[in-house]
Structure formats: C-alpha cells, structure tokens
Amino acid sequence: MHKSGLSQKRLERLSRVLQGYVECGEMAGIVALIHRRGEEAHVETIGWQDKETRTPIKRNTLFRIASMTKPIITVAMLALVEEGRIRLYDRIDTWLPELADRMVMRDPLGSPDDVYPSSRAITLHDLLTYRIGIGWGASSLRPQLFALTAAPASDALQIPDRVYLAPEAWMARLGEFPLIYEPGTRWMYQVSSDIMGVLISRITGKPLEMFLRESLFEPLGMVDTSFSVSPEKRDRLATLYAAAPGGGIEVRDHPRNTGWAEPPIFPAGASGLVSTADDYQRFGLMLLNKGELNGVRILSRKTVEAMTTDYLTPEQHMHPFSNFDRYDMDPEASMWDNWGFGYGVAVRTRRIGLGPSVGSFYWPGAFGTTWIADPQEQLMATVLPQMLGANPFYTQLGEDFLAMTYQAISD
C-alpha cells in the first residue's frame, strides 16, 4: 500500500473507468490528480488534448475552469478581509455605489417596476454567501442576468443576447436592476462572484489579474493560471468540446481561434480563468492545509474554517438551485439536501454513499471540471476534462471519479 493510504491496485479501477469515457467518445481527454496526506498519490493523463489532430493530453495541458474560478476569487477577497481593508459585515456600496439604495421586487416573477425599498444594505457577507438578492435563478430578470455573463465563457456557453461590457459599464448595467429578494434571504448564483472581482479591483486599485498574481498565484506557484492564454502557451490549451445535438461531440472553442487568446474586457471572477491540474491542486491543498502550503500562508486557519462553514438557513436549504437540481444520482435529492454553502464553495453537510466526508468542500465548472477537498480524509482530488455537458453542476464523470477515488482508500 502506498503511504498515502490509497491502494494502487484499486486506483487501477479509476484508470479503467476514466479510460472508458475516452474510448466510448464521450470525452476527448482527461487529466486527474489526487493527493492524500500531503503525498501525490495518483496522476492520470488519458486521451486527447485535441481529438482531430491526435494531440495527446498532458499533465500540463491548460483547461478553461469556468466556475472553479469562484473559490479563487473568494480566497482573494478573504485575504483583503485579513488585511483589514474591508470587514465581513461592511456594506459594499461604500466601494460599489452602483449597489446603493436598492429596491426589491415584490414578486420575483413579476414586473421589475413593482418594487419597495430594501430593508438594509448589501454586506460583504451577503456577497460571499451569494445572498445579495440578485443572480441566476427563477425570476423575470433571468434573461437579462444571463446576458451579463462575461466573455469568453458566455461565447463558449452560447448564452443568448450576451453583452460585452467592461467592469464599470457592467456594474452600471447591474445597478439598473432591482434586487429579486431582500439581502440575506435567498441564495442566487453567479453574479456575486463577478461583483467580487470588481470589488477587489476597487479596494486594491489594481487590475484583478495583477492582484490575483501577487496575492495567490505567485506565492502558491500557480504559474499557469490566468484570464488568458499567451501565444507561447497556446499549444498546451485543450480544445473545448460540447455534446452535439445529433450525438457525438462538437468543438466549442479551439486553441487556434480561442476566446481566451486575449485578456478579456471583463475579467470574470465567476467564470474566467484557465488553469492546470497542478495549479488547481496547489490551490486546493492550501485550503486543505487550513490556508498554508509549503511554508507560504495565504489565509489563517480561522478564515478557512469560516469559508467552509454552511451559512444557508434551514429554509434556504429547501429552495431549489436554479434549474440544475438533480444531484448525487439520487433522483429525489436537490442540491442542498446534502450540501450547504460557505464562502464560494459548497460544503458537504450529510454523508451519502461512499463519496466525500461531511465537511468536504468544492465547486465545479461548466466545462466538466471538478475537484474535492476532504479534510477528514486529508484528500485533494482534481479531474479536468474539457466537455460542456447538459448539466454543469452534475456530471456522471464527476460522480464516477469520486466513487473510484474513495473506493481506493485502503487504510
């Protein structure tokens, strides 16, 4: 048995299952990386970075990580809290006047003109927990809020009527909408992380990418994580595929003419980054180690504990999550039956099956990528395909990856 406590023989099952996805043509290629107890326990590179040219996928292949950007932005925001530049319960309209004096819709599905004044201002805690009162979810504003999704992710997702706005114009547009719910009362997806990116820039007076590089990427050795892919790295970028309408897969973003070639007009804190398995693994290991990696401390233990606490109320646990509600293979389960939400990550609240322990945390990406940090098992695992599925929050591959990882624990 490996000193990680994972059986190498049982990990061969993981290899077989991942290989099956590539052989049947459901996935072009997959990189997977697993650490346990601080040891690298397993690495997989299966299939193709580009199927047509038969370019093999490699450990340092670059992937569009979409919503796996969100936990990274959250950590950067919490670093500013630790520096005393902003407090958790400060109102954010001090920095973001576009969000001052909010009006709230009387009926989320009704007219955006039928409103009343919000009982309080939006705080940073609301922003970190996605409870600012506006975002993706059932509302009459849904098409307009979808359209605000930033490129290049919005192009790859083929979001209808998408708009291309720089941060200031984007904030101004968002400020034109009323809130859908009172601050603190409802979890709504996506928009909070994009706002957080703008807020970080305004507090620091630096472009978002520069602050991320200085505060996170360089200290952690995340050398390949960025909002764009420089020309010398382009040959390492995976081709992004999507399920084709008539079966099989089609190309959604190709390295030759990728939307990630140039720094974006809006560096999206919700969906914009490109990364590698090793880079994201370093990020996850830092959180697993309570804020520190290889002698470099990014956050304090108490801040990581705060980040990985479930803040959803019992009532909020009852609300469906947008329309991506099927989860964990249980047809009866909704997203929040077995998970809660901390700051930018879902937190496992109830043990089911052989998967993650209570207290595990993660957040997946719409292009098929996912990861898990399990403090109880001292496990950090990342799996990176590049395939846009029907449901970005649940993939069969992600489910199988977890099952095959956890069945390999042999201590």
Grade residue 352 by pLDDT with cuts at 50, 70 and 90. confident
H runs (alpha helix) in 152-291: 153-157, 167-175, 191-204, 208-212, 218-220, 277-288
Question: How confident is the model over 345-370, as a mean pLDDT?
Answer: 94
Question: How confident is the model over 121-148, as a mean pLDDT?
Answer: 97
Q: What is the mean pLDDT of the chain?
A: 95
Question: How confident is the model over 4-26, as a mean pLDDT?
Answer: 96
pLDDT at 271: 97
DSSP letters, 71-83, are HHHHHHHHHHHHT
Which tokens go with 329? 């293979």
pLDDT at 330: 61
pLDDT surpassing 80 at residue 281: yes
b/e 376-410 (16+ beta carbons within 10 angstroms → b): ebbbbbbbbbbbbbeebbbbebbbbbbbbbbbbbe
pLDDT by residue (tens digit) across 92-111? Answer: 999 999 999 999 999 999 99
CATH 3.40.710.10 fits 8-69+210-408, yes or no: yes
User: How far is residue 108's CA from residue 122's CA, in Å, rounded to a whole number?
Assistant: 18
pLDDT at 389: 79
Say yes or no: do domains 8-69+210-408 and 75-205 share a fold: yes
Grade residue 324 by pLDDT with cuts at 50, 70 and 90. low
User: How far is residue 72's CA from residue 63's CA, in Å, rounded to a whole number?
Assistant: 15
Grade residue 382 by pLDDT with cuts at 50, 70 and 90. very high
Is the separation of the CB atoms in 134 and 179 below 8 Å? yes
For the chain, which residues make up each domain, given as ranges? 8-69+210-408, 75-205
pLDDT at 394: 77
pLDDT surpassing 70 at residue 323: no
Q: Which CATH architecture has domain 75-205?
A: 3-Layer(aba) Sandwich (3.40)
Question: How confident is the model over 403-407, as a mean pLDDT?
Answer: 96
Specify the range with the lowest mean pLDDT, choosing from 117-121, 211-215, 243-247, 258-262: 243-247
Question: How confident is the model over 312-326, as a mean pLDDT?
Answer: 77
pLDDT at 355: 86
pLDDT at 172: 98
pLDDT at 392: 67
pLDDT surpassing 90 at residue 320: no
User: How far is residue 335's CA from residue 333's CA, in Å, rounded to a whole number?
Assistant: 7
pLDDT above 70 coverage of the chain, percent: 96
pTM: 0.97
pLDDT at 1: 56
pLDDT at 84: 98
Rg (CA), the chain: 20
pLDDT surpassing 70 at residue 332: no
Specify the range with the lowest mean pLDDT, choosing from 32-41, 132-141, 156-165, 327-336: 327-336
Torsion angle defined by CA atoms of residues 61, 64, 65 and 70, in that order, rounded to the nearest 10 degrees:
140
Three-state DSSP class for 129? coil
Residue type, 264: P
pLDDT surpassing 80 at residue 333: no
pLDDT by residue (tens digit) across 118-133? Answer: 999 999 999 999 999 9
Burial class of residue 290 in the structure, from the number of CB atoms within 10 Å of its CB (0-12 exposed, 13-18 middle, 19+ buried): middle
pLDDT by residue (tens digit) across 47-99? Answer: 999 999 999 999 999 999 999 999 999 999 999 999 999 999 999 999 999 99
pLDDT surpassing 90 at residue 336: no
pLDDT at 328: 54
